[in-house]
């Protein structure tokens, strides 16, 4: 390439760089109208409303879409205000598996995998929760466990913000399965499985 051609390309490249730099500088000076418009931030004071608040209170007796929550048992663990010993939906194998997975994530650090209350957090000095296998909790209604997860109890905080109501019920079902597993007898095993167990024992 000739010397003049090289000089031409250098000039063109310099001109392009200058244009890019100019465009960047111009964009820094731009402000969008919506950026500078008058507005209130949450909890700002206001002279416009008689109560002096920018935030408007919720309209009485209104419920956000999808939050009607008319199923008392599903959302509170109670029926007519009384702690219930029933589930709001059928407990299937799939529900138990989901409950076991959620239990292992959220509950086992304190309650351990068997529900004895000797999880890893407890082994490191955290106050132990009661075992699920004591008579008081074996006889407690299902709604009791749902309420404890929802509201917290003692040093245990609420899990309502982390676990959906449906998953809390799945965990309750799994806790019942844990309780049964630790106190079952051979008579609780279906006949076909019992035969298989006894044949293996021989």
Q: What is the largest CA-CA distance in the chain?
A: 101
Provide the terminal-to-terminal Cα distance of the chain, rounded to the nearest Å.
95
Question: What is the domain count for the chain?
Answer: 1
Among 15-24, 180-189, 192-201, the minimum mean pLDDT is found in 15-24
Task: Say if 85 falls within a structural domain.
Answer: yes
Task: Say if 131 falls within a structural domain.
Answer: yes
Check which CATH number belongs to the domain holding 96 and give it: 1.10.760.10
Task: Say if 140 falls within a structural domain.
Answer: yes
Top-confidence residue, 3 or 148: 148
Range of the domain at 114: 76-184
**This prediction's pTM:** 0.67
Percentage of residues in the chain with pLDDT exceeding 90?
A: 55
Top-confidence residue, 18 or 99: 99
The distance of Cα 51 from the centroid of its chain, to the nearest Å, equals 36
Please give the mean pLDDT across all residues of the chain: 88
Nearest to 142 by CA among 96, 87, 102, 181: 87
């Amino acid at each position: 390439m000739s010397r003049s051609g090289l000089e031409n390309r250098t000039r063109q490249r310099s001109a392009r760089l200058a244009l890019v730099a100019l465009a960047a500088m111009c964009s820094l000076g731009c402000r969008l109208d919506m950026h500078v418009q008058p507005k209130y931030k949450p909890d700002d004071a206001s002279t416009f409303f008689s109560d002096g608040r920018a935030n408007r209170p919720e309209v009485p007796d209104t419920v956000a879409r999808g939050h009607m929550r008319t199923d008392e048992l599903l959302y509170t663990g109670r029926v007519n205000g009384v702690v219930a010993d029933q589930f709001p939906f059928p407990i299937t194998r799939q529900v138990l598996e989901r409950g076991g997975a959620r239990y292992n994530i959220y509950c086992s650090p304190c309650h351990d995998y068997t529900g004895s209350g000797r999880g890893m957090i407890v082994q490191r000095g955290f106050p132990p929760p009661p075992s699920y296998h004591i008579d008081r909790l074996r006889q407690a209604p299902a709604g009791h466990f749902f309420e404890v997860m929802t509201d917290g109890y003692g040093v245990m905080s609420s899990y309502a913000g982390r676990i959906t109501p449906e998953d809390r019920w799945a965990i309750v079902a799994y806790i019942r399965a844990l309780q049964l597993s630790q106190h079952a007898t051979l008579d609780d095993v279906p006949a076909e499985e019992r035969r298989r167990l006894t044949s293996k024992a021989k």
